Chain A
Amino acid sequence: MHKLLARQIKRHKQTSQWTDQASPLLNAISMAYQDFDDEKIIIERSLELVSEELNQRNKVLKSKLVLLEETHLKLEDSLAILNSIFDATGEAIVGFDGKGNLLRCNYVAKKIFDISVSQKKINIRKTVLKVSRFLKKPGKFIQQLRDIKKHQNLDLFGIFEFLNGDLFEFHSSAQVVDKRLIGRVWCLRNVTQIKKNEILVQHQAYHDALTDLPNRLLLQDRLNQEISFAQRSNALVAVLFIDLDHFKKINDTLGHQLGDELLIEVASRLKFCVREADTLARLGGDEFVIILGSIVSHKMATKTCQRIIDKLKQYFIIHDKKYYISCSVGISLYPRDDQSPEELIRKADLAMYHAKEQGRGGFQFFDAALERLAHYNLDLENKLHGALKNNQFDVYYQPKICLQNNSLKKVEALLRWRVDGKSMISPTEFIPIAEQMGLIIPLGYWVIERVCQQINQWKNNGIEDVVVAINLSAQQFSESDFVEKIILTLEKHQLDGSCLDWEITESILLEDLDKVKQVLTELKALGSMISIDDFGTGYSSLQYLQRLPVDTLKIDRSFIVELAANPTEESLVSGVISLAHNLKLSVVAEGVEDSSMVDYLSRHGCDYIQGFYYYKPMNALSMTEVFLGNS
Chain B
Amino acid sequence: MKVFQSHFQNGQWDPALPKTSDAQWVLTFGSRQIEQDSAFQLTISETFPNAESIGCSTSGEICDDQVFDNTMVLTAVTFDNTVLKTASVNANENTNSFETGKVLGAKLDGNNLKYVFVLSDGQKVNGTELVEGLLSVLPEGVLISGGLAGDDARFEETMVWHNQKVESGLLVICGFYGDSIRFGHGTLGGWDTFGPERNVTRASGNVLYELDDQPALDLYKNYLGDFSKDLPSSALLFPLSLKADGQSEAVVRTILNIDETDKSMTFAGDIPQGHTAKLMKANFERLIDGASGAAKNAMNSLKQDAELAILISCVGRRLVLKQRVDEELESVSDALSEDCVKCGFYSYGEISPLLSGDGCHLHNQTMTITTLSEV
Contacts and interface: CB of A to CB of B under 8 A. Distances in A.
Interface stretch (B121-129, B222-230, B305-313): B222-230
Interface string A45-61: 11001100110010000
A68 interface: no
Contact of B194 (A28, A32, A46): A46
Contacts of A599: none
A45 B323 contact: no
A145 B17 CA distance: 91
Contacts of A50: 194-196
Interface stretch (A35-43, A94-102, A267-275): A35-43
A88 interface: no
Contact of A43 (B195, B196, B279, B281): B281
Given A42-B237, A43-B281, A49 B322 contact: no
A43 B226 CA distance: 13
B196 A57 contact: yes
In this complex, the member of A38, A42, A43 whose beta carbon has the largest number of chain B beta carbons within 10 angstroms is A42
B196 A49 contact: no
A200 interface: no
Given A28-B323, A31-B323, A43-B281, A54 B196 contact: yes
A46 B323 contact: no
Given A31-B322, A35-B323, A45 B196 contact: no
> What is the interface of chain B mostly: helix, strand, loop, or mixed?
helix
A354 B222 CA distance: 116
B227 A42 contact: yes
Nearest to A57: B196
Contacts of B237: 42
Contacts of B226: 41
Interface string A369-388: 00000000000000000000
A31 B196 CA distance: 32
A31 B321 CA distance: 12
Nearest to A54: B196
Contact of A41 (B222, B225, B281): B225
Interface residues of A, number: 15
A35 B222 CA distance: 20
B322 A46 contact: no
B150 to A, nearest CB: 21
Interface in B179-206: 194-196
A511 to B, nearest CB: 98
A49 B279 CA distance: 12
Nearest to B224: A42
A53 B214 CA distance: 13
A288 B323 CA distance: 124
Contacts of B223: 42, 45-46, 49
Contacts of A28: 323
Contacts of B322: 31-32, 35
Given A28-B323, A31-B323, A45 B195 contact: no
A46 B195 contact: yes
A28 B323 CA distance: 8
Contacts of A53: 195-196
A50 B238 CA distance: 13
A203 B281 CA distance: 90
Interface in A44-95: 45-46, 49-50, 53-54, 57
Interface in A348-404: none
Interface in A4-47: 28, 31-32, 35, 38, 41-43, 45-46
A49 B238 CA distance: 14
A45 B225 contact: yes
B323 A49 contact: no
Interface in A548-592: none
Nearest to A42: B237
Contacts of A45: 223, 225
Nearest to A52: B222
A45 B225 CA distance: 8
Contacts of A42: 223-225, 227, 237, 281
A31 B194 CA distance: 26
Interface string B210-238: 00000000000011111100000000010
A31 B281 CA distance: 20
A57 B198 CA distance: 11
Interface in B320-375: 322-323
A474 B195 CA distance: 111
Contacts of B279: 46
B281 A46 contact: yes
Contact of A32 (B224, B227, B281, B323): B323
Contacts of B222: 49
Contacts of B194: 46, 50
A32 B327 CA distance: 14
A343 to B, nearest CB: 85
A146 to B, nearest CB: 42
A45 B223 CA distance: 7
A46 B237 CA distance: 11
A42 B279 CA distance: 13
A28 B222 CA distance: 30
Nearest to B281: A46
A57 B196 CA distance: 9
Interface in A228-281: none
Interface string A175-191: 00000000000000000
Contacts of A43: 281
A57 to B, nearest CB: 6
A48 to B, nearest CB: 10
Contacts of B281: 42-43, 46
Contacts of B227: 38, 42
A513 B96 CA distance: 117
In this complex, the member of A32, A46, A49 whose beta carbon has the largest number of chain B beta carbons within 10 angstroms is A46
Contacts of B196: 50, 53-54, 57
A434 to B, nearest CB: 97
Contacts of B225: 41-42, 45
A57 B226 CA distance: 25
A42 B237 CA distance: 9
Nearest to B195: A50
A526 B19 CA distance: 166
Interface in B270-284: 279, 281
Interface in A82-126: none
A28 B326 CA distance: 13
Contacts of B323: 28, 31-32, 35
A41 B225 CA distance: 9
A443 B227 CA distance: 123
20 contacts: A28-B323, A31-B322, A31-B323, A32-B323, A35-B322, A38-B227, A41-B225, A42-B223, A42-B225, A42-B227, A42-B237, A42-B281, A43-B281, A45-B225, A46-B279, A50-B196, A53-B195, A53-B196, A54-B196, A57-B196
Interface of A: 28, 31-32, 35, 38, 41-43, 45-46, 49-50, 53-54, 57
Given A41-B225, A42-B223, A50-B196, 9 more contacts: A42-B225, A42-B237, A45-B223, A46-B194, A46-B223, A49-B223, A50-B194, A53-B196, A54-B196
Q: Which 8 A-B pairs have the closest CB atoms?
A: A50-B195, A35-B322, A45-B225, A53-B196, A32-B323, A49-B223, A57-B196, A46-B223
Interface of B: 194-196, 222-227, 237, 279, 281, 322-323
